[in-house]
Amino acid sequence: MNKEMKRVLRHFQCDFNRSIEENFAQLLTESERVRLFFINENQAFTDGRNIVVDPAIGGVFADKAALARTEEYMKIDHKFSTDPWNALRMLTRGQNIHECLHIIYSDFPTGVKTDARASTKARAKTLALTSNIIEDAFIEAVGCSIYDNLELFLQFERIAVLFSNTPVQGTVNRAFKNESADAPKPLPLTEFLNYMGTFLLYPMIVQEEPPADIADYVAQTKQLFADGSICPEPKARYGFTQRIFDIIEPLIPDSEADIDTEQLERMLPGLKTHTVGDKTIGNFESKGKTASISRRLFSDLNGNELPKRNYDEQMSVLVHDYESEKRDALKIVLAQPTVVNWDAMQFDCSPVHRNIKIIETKPKPNLNLRRAYQNIYNKYKININSYNNRFAQLLRARISVREEKRLFGAGISSRRLSDIKKRYWYRDESEYGIPDIAIVLLIDGSGSMQGPRRESAMLSSVILHEVLKKQGITHAIVEHRAGFHKPEVNVNILVDFNARNEEKLNLLALSADGNSRDGLALFWVERFINSYTNCARKLIIVLADGWPAHEYDEYYPPISSKDTANAAAKIIKRGTDMIAVALDDGVAQASPCYDALKSIYPFVVACTDLKRLTGQLLGIISKNL
């Protein structure tokens, strides 16, 4: 795999793509418990709940020749051999589907675990490998017998793996074999399993007559493999494995290590699914569903090759979706923080800020926080739904709408007095709809916010964002701080207006460090909300725990409090509402936070119990709606 292919693989194996596959797995298996993981270990398997796939399995996605031969064999357009991203998506989805079908139709754990025949590791391994061959053939037959549009993925992965292991065209009958001169002759059991795996899973390979030492065993078990692979019920299917085992028992060596699975692993990358012992990643029990088989993946039930299907329509949809997903994934993977520098004098603030710079940053979301965010969401899902229901009822109330250009009405619109048709009257009506309001939550990120206050602010931000997003209310969440000894104010836009979904992960990165310079931060917020929204009403909610203070130029009270009060008054007068929430954990006795903020902002809400912060924030918003 060359450097370019490694780069493509690295970009592909992002959490965005992993999440797409996990959502697909949950949809196909109809289970929200299913989790999916990417690895780079050349294998794919499931333990009945967790799915592990390797997008780069066998390096197939980088094998242009194998992919081109696969496309020719299946009579599909060359969309995968010419684009490794598409190939990765196709191969990953094929593995995902394969393991999902195991979760639905296979028993977990496998019958080997309780089988008395598994008295040694070698015997247990023989049972597991035999069962794996039969199970893989069965679930792929299910995939094309019962489900629409899965056959393309299953066939593509199977054929691509075949051609990738067949380096020279025209030598398919020697696929998967190790033909080096110094390769030792495999044991009869290994020969037998390889032969039957090829027979059942790769019917397009023309097999030679089996070697003499296994010919009799092949003759006795061939029909059992064929019948077992279309047996509807999992337990009965394992019964075929037992019958085959009883026939080939003389072939089993004393040591498990003597059973070479190299060729089988190339044919069946998911060998771990049915292996007993420490190979699984969980300990889950489930009973597979029954299913009636009407055909196999490449043939009818009698082994006759089926005509090639026309995949043109499905391919057109797939390629379009893959291109869209690729753009979205790369937008996230290649995204860089956006930084804009402002000079304080670009705002009509007090001269006390003349040497201060504002560094505005829109950070790159840390996708590693996705699971942590989901855990918080799941923990507070009931609260979020409750607030959503409350807001939904509130928003069903009528909102005021002014109708102008009327001949009669309740009042006269002065700007229409020149209308020659005398349509200068207006009247107020009401209708249902989302209030025309934009909200910014401005969070104090100074060092005094560390501990419970920061945790409470972070949690409240998550819930607030989920509720406002659900209700379609325009909002943004911003944190700010000032450097101790630096002439700068740092503003981080954690969630922007019309934010991408991944931006919400920034809320978990809320931190507490440095000082605060609220008098300047407020002017930046005013510009921010006016520049990016056109809402009739604008509301800034300030979340703080005390006086603004910046050590750099001794911006301390009473200067800082008076300056911030002047800034708030000026911004409110210009049409932006402002409410402060005073975070006080109830411990501090001297100079309580509420009194400090009350001397600055005209409207202050006291929060003396941090557990109630979310409710208070949403209460403020509901009153303003």
In a domain, 461, yes or no: yes
Q: Do 579 and 590 reside in the same domain of the chain?
A: yes
Structure tokens at 16: 């965005």
Position 185 confidence tier, pLDDT thresholds 50, 70, 90: confident
CA separation, residue 528 to residues 308, 478, 521, 543, 606 (Å): 59, 10, 10, 17, 26
Structure tokens at 477: 């969440």
- Kindly tell me if the per-residue pLDDT of 274 is higher than 90: no
Alpha helices in 400-499 (DSSP H): 452-471
- Kindly tell me if the per-residue pLDDT of 43 is higher than 60: yes
Residue whose structure tokens are 């409710």: 615
Q: Do 510 and 556 reside in the same domain of the chain?
A: yes
State the number of CA atoms in the 13 A half-sphere of 442 facing the CB. Answer: 27
Q: Is the pTM of this model over 0.75?
A: no
Q: Do 364 and 322 reside in the same domain of the chain?
A: no
Cβ atoms of 130 and 193 closer than 8 Å: yes
Of 560, 573, 516, 513, which is closest to residue 542 (Cα–Cα)? 516
Cβ atoms of 494 and 479 closer than 8 Å: yes
Q: What is the mean pLDDT of residues 353-377?
A: 90
Taking only the tens place, the pLDDT of each residue in 584-594 is 765 544 447 88
Cα 57 to Cα 39: distance, rounded to the nearest angstrom: 9
In a domain, 515, yes or no: yes
Of 249, 231, 242, which is closest to residue 192 (Cα–Cα)? 249
Q: Which amino acid is at 391?
A: F
Q: Please state whether beta strands 425-432 and 411-412 pair in parallel, antiparallel, or not at all (unpaired).
A: antiparallel
Alpha helices in 422-547 (DSSP H): 452-471, 518-532
Q: Do 505 and 556 reside in the same domain of the chain?
A: yes
Cα 549 to Cα 558: distance, rounded to the nearest angstrom: 10
In a domain, 340, yes or no: no
Beta-strand (E) ranges in 294-453?
A: 338-343, 357-362, 398-406, 411-412, 425-432, 437-444
pLDDT higher at 260 or 89 = 89
pLDDT higher at 334 or 156 = 156
Taking only the tens place, the pLDDT of each residue in 527-560 is 999 999 999 899 999 999 989 999 999 999 999 9
In a domain, 312, yes or no: yes
Instruction: Taking the CA atoms of 178, 179, 183 and 186 in sequence, report the sign of the dihedral they define.
Output: positive
Instruction: Taking the CA atoms of 214, 220, 226 and 227 in sequence, report the sign of the dihedral they define.
Output: negative
Taking only the tens place, the pLDDT of each residue in 2-31 is 899 999 999 999 888 998 999 999 999 999
Q: Do 66 and 167 reside in the same domain of the chain?
A: yes
Q: Do 126 and 231 reside in the same domain of the chain?
A: yes
Question: Which of 203-217, 254-268, 531-545, 577-591 has the least mean pLDDT?
Answer: 577-591
Taking only the tens place, the pLDDT of each residue in 287-319 is 999 999 999 999 999 888 888 899 999 999 999
- Kindly tell me if the per-residue pLDDT of 244 is higher than 90: yes
In a domain, 57, yes or no: yes
Cβ atoms of 487 and 356 closer than 8 Å: yes
Q: Do 52 and 131 reside in the same domain of the chain?
A: yes
Q: Do 60 and 11 reside in the same domain of the chain?
A: yes
- Kindly tell me if the per-residue pLDDT of 564 is higher than 90: yes
Q: What is the mean pLDDT of residues 419-447?
A: 77
Question: Which of 152-161, 420-429, 446-455, 601-610 has the least mean pLDDT?
Answer: 420-429
In a domain, 36, yes or no: yes
In a domain, 338, yes or no: no
Taking only the tens place, the pLDDT of each residue in 219-234 is 999 999 999 999 999 9
Cα 428 to Cα 436: distance, rounded to the nearest angstrom: 16
Q: Do 442 and 567 reside in the same domain of the chain?
A: yes
Q: Do 370 and 441 reside in the same domain of the chain?
A: yes
Cα 99 to Cα 156: distance, rounded to the nearest angstrom: 15
Q: What is the mean pLDDT of residues 322-334?
A: 90
Domain count across the chain? 3
Cβ atoms of 46 and 31 closer than 8 Å: no
Q: Do 172 and 312 reside in the same domain of the chain?
A: yes
Cβ atoms of 440 and 454 closer than 8 Å: no
Quote the domain boundaries for residue 174: 3-327
Position 426 confidence tier, pLDDT thresholds 50, 70, 90: low
Looking at residue 474, its pLDDT comes to 94
In a domain, 337, yes or no: no
Q: Do 224 and 317 reside in the same domain of the chain?
A: yes
Cβ atoms of 544 and 413 closer than 8 Å: no
Q: How many contiguous H segments (helices) and E segments (strands) does the chain have?
A: 18, 14
Position 279 confidence tier, pLDDT thresholds 50, 70, 90: very low
